[in-house]
Amino acid sequence: MYISIRQATIQDTGIVSDVLLEAALWLQQRGIPLWRDSEVSPENISEDVAKGLFFIAEYDGEPAGTIKFQLEDLLFWPDISQEESAFLHRFAIRRRYSGGKVSSALLTWAIERAQKLDKRYLRLDCDASRPRLRAVYEGFGFRYHSDRQVGTYFVSRYEYEIPRQVT
């Protein structure tokens, strides 16, 4: 078992969209819709993929998950200093790779990337009405920050304080 994480290229737009659509469909089938299909279609994510914001986790060479890593988020976090944080969005794992290994690898990678970029916090948000997902983030070490209404989304915001690098 080997998990690697790489930056998605524009050629990977379909892969990123497929992973996100699979997660969205799985949630819809359980009555907990998250993203509309149009939000994660190749047309709607291609610009962010081209900007280098998406990353793909591969499990033994197969696409297993994706995450969007940003250095600013004025939509969900307009009330905090942007310079000291990195932000995660569009975090999804293919169902056949669920169970924690791929998601833990992606979160660990994101923390390490934020640390290399000398950020103080890694921040994310999730649907406030999803206690199991919230428990996953809390179990990983993310601390509850606050709730926020953003358009039609009511989210709980979390932050992870990045350990300072010893020089």
List Cα–Cα distances, 52 to 13, 47, 135, 161, in angstroms.
Answer: 11, 9, 29, 24
List Cα–Cα distances, 141 to 32, 65, 81, 94, 162, in angstroms.
Answer: 24, 20, 21, 23, 10
Distance CA 150, CA 76 (A): 7
| 106-135 mean pLDDT | 94
The pLDDT tens digits for 19-57 are 999 998 988 888 877 788 788 999 999 999 999 999 999
- The domain spans of the chain are 3-123
- Model confidence at 161, pLDDT cuts 50, 70, 90, reads very high
Predicted confidence (pLDDT) at residue 166 exceeds the cutoff of 70? no
In this structure, how many other beta carbons lie within 10 angstroms of the beta carbon of residue 5?
20
**Amino acid found at 72:** E
| 95-110 mean pLDDT | 93
Question: What is the pLDDT of the chain when averaged over all its residues?
Answer: 93
Give the class (CATH, top level) of 3-123.
alpha beta
Q: What is the pTM of this model?
A: 0.93
Distance CA 125, CA 34 (A): 12
Question: CB–CB of 24/33 below 8 Å?
Answer: yes
The pLDDT tens digits for 121-150 are 999 999 999 898 899 899 999 999 999 999
List Cα–Cα distances, 29 to 20, 23, 32, 98, 125, in angstroms.
Answer: 14, 10, 8, 16, 22
